[in-house]
Homo-oligomer: A and B are copies of this chain.
Amino acid sequence: MSIIVQKFGGSSVADAERVNRVAGIIADTYRSGHDVVVVVSAQGDTTDDLIEKAMEINPNASKREMDMLLSAGEQISISLLAMAIEKHGLPVKSLLGWQVGVHTDSIYGNARIKTVDTERMTAELSQRNILIVAGFQGINKFDDITTLGRGGSDTSAVALAVALKAEKCQIFTDVDGVYTADPRLVSTAQKQDEVSYNEMLELATLGAQVLHNRSVEMAQKYGIELEVLSSITNQKGTMVKENLTVEKTIIRGVAKDDNITRISIVGLEDVPGVAFKLFDRLAQKHVNVDIILQSVGRDGTKDITFTVSKDQQDVAMEVVTAFDSKAKVSCDNNISKVSIVGSGMETHPNVAAKMFEALYAADINIQMINTSEIRISVLIDINDSKKAVKAVHDAFIK
């Protein structure tokens, strides 16, 4: 029997009504003849509420204990969803990360899945049980609970789909597919029938907030087809699959990411290996660096600027200030990254010029530019970010 993995985010199970609706979707999929494995996030604000409780008691709590705390959120949502499915008279079991054998490394708060032991899931599926699995969590070699960091439930879903050789992995969200821009920001944004893994990867990394990049990377690596669709409407979503023919398509989407901090170091000693050493120290502290710009400064010095997510600002600043006592360090988190993504971009050299023109026409100052083969990103003032998305989208799409 073919296995379908379905993932529902926190807003899809935020209250009893939504839990019941999701249970209906699952029941329909099961009744149509599939084995169904469901991955669920914590309900609505549960995670934030738990973080608040922790902060009140100890703002410097260990990550091990934070993971123990936060993983309780998914435990609540999986059991409630299983109860809702029981009302349909269908056989169902909720299962935690350790019960389905999700083994991770030991980086608490940002663990990576190493293996998934399918023994229990396969046994339960052979009994025709619907499985409701806690996303976002696993266990490490010490039998301690770990969490997977942002977007972890997407990653859990794809990992289970890979391990179980599922037919496909459906990611249910509060949007009904992948749009050319966030429909809340740009009214003319269009839903797309399909995008390639690479395009989705750029969009995910850029803060489109539809799918997390780790999940897309994993899906691409193992060839799992993803479908992004809504848990509210009953419509077809967007398929994410291997490279498509992209002759016509130039721009797949416009995305913004407000969750970034720019850190600048001015006057670094200009000796070989200085950049390597700096970024190696950041990597040791598990800081994910995004855009990097390096330029030669005055008097035989170097300037390096890079961006990180806001929650890594403090640890990144610690590393950077300790790195070179003579250099001047500054940081700015009132910035936003706006990007256009599209596989056809390479063969259309005028894309960058057209984007900069649109921003210029909207009176938006560009602070930094970064490009890949299928993406152009600019850093701008955070107050301009919505306006920028709209301006760029209108210039390219329709």
Among A67-75, A314-322, A329-337, A354-362, the stretch in contact with B? A67-75
Among A79-87, A161-169, A227-235, A369-377, the stretch in contact with B? A79-87
Q: Whole-angstrom distance between the alpha carbons of A19 and B144 in the complex?
A: 23
Q: Whole-angstrom distance between the alpha carbons of A20 and B57 in the complex?
A: 7
A83→B65 contact, CB < 8 A: yes
Are A62 and B76 also in contact (CB < 8 A) when A98-B98, A143-B99 are?
no
Query: Given B53, B60, B144, which contacts A80 in the complex, CB threshold below 8 Å?
Result: B53
Chain B CB within 10 Å — which of A19, A58, A71, A99 has the most?
A58
| Chain B: minimal CB distance from A228 (Å) | 26
Q: Whole-angstrom distance between the alpha carbons of A99 and B64 in the complex?
A: 14
Query: Given B16, B60, B82, which contacts A56 in the complex, CB threshold below 8 Å?
Result: B16
Which residues in B have their C-beta under 8 angstroms from that of A57? Answer: 16, 19-20, 80, 83-84, 87
Are A75 and B83 also in contact (CB < 8 A) when A16-B57, A143-B99, A143-B120 are?
no
Which residues in B have their C-beta under 8 angstroms from that of A96? Answer: 68, 145
Q: Whole-angstrom distance between the alpha carbons of A76 and B50 in the complex?
A: 8
| Chain B: minimal CB distance from A86 (Å) | 6
A86→B71 contact, CB < 8 A: no
| Chain B: minimal CB distance from A49 (Å) | 10
Which residues in B have their C-beta under 8 angstroms from that of A120? Answer: 143
Which residues in B have their C-beta under 8 angstroms from that of A87? Answer: 57-58, 60
Which residues in B have their C-beta under 8 angstroms from that of A386? Answer: none
Say whether A93 faces chain B, with CB atoms less than 8 Å apart: yes
Query: A73 — nearest CB in chain B belongs to which residue?
Result: B72
Say whether A366 faces chain B, with CB atoms less than 8 Å apart: no
Are A83 and B62 also in contact (CB < 8 A) when A76-B69, A143-B120 are?
yes
Q: Whole-angstrom distance between the alpha carbons of A53 and B120 in the complex?
A: 28
B68→A78 contact, CB < 8 A: yes
Say whether A61 faces chain B, with CB atoms less than 8 Å apart: yes
B69→A84 contact, CB < 8 A: no
Which residues in B have their C-beta under 8 angstroms from that of A86? Answer: 58, 60-62, 65
A93→B76 contact, CB < 8 A: no
Query: A19 — nearest CB in chain B belongs to which residue?
Result: B57
Say whether A66 faces chain B, with CB atoms less than 8 Å apart: yes
Query: Given B61, B84, B143, which contacts A58 in the complex, CB threshold below 8 Å?
Result: B84
Query: A76 — nearest CB in chain B belongs to which residue?
Result: B72
Query: A64 — nearest CB in chain B belongs to which residue?
Result: B93
Q: Whole-angstrom distance between the alpha carbons of A93 and B98 in the complex?
A: 18
| Chain B: minimal CB distance from A133 (Å) | 12
Q: Whole-angstrom distance between the alpha carbons of A143 and B139 in the complex?
A: 15
Say whether A54 faces chain B, with CB atoms less than 8 Å apart: yes
Q: Whole-angstrom distance between the alpha carbons of A75 and B53 in the complex?
A: 13
Say whether A41 faces chain B, with CB atoms less than 8 Å apart: no
Q: Give residues of chain A (1-54) contacting chain B, Cβ–Cβ below 8 Å.
A: 16, 19-20, 50, 53-54
Which 9 A-B pairs rank lowest in CB-CB distance, beginning with the nearest? A69-B79, A61-B83, A68-B79, A58-B83, A72-B75, A72-B72, A16-B56, A65-B79, A65-B82
A residues near B (Cβ < 8 Å) are: 16, 19-20, 50, 53-54, 56-58, 60-62, 64-66, 68-69, 71-73, 75-76, 78-80, 82-84, 86-87, 93-94, 96, 98-99, 120, 143-145
Other 7 A-B pairs with CB < 8 A, given A53-B76, A68-B75, A68-B94: A16-B53, A54-B83, A65-B83, A68-B96, A72-B75, A98-B98, A99-B144
**Can you sample 21 A-B contacts with CB below 8 Å?**
A16-B53, A54-B79, A57-B83, A57-B87, A58-B86, A58-B87, A61-B83, A62-B83, A65-B79, A65-B83, A65-B86, A65-B94, A66-B79, A66-B83, A68-B78, A68-B94, A68-B96, A69-B76, A72-B73, A98-B98, A99-B143
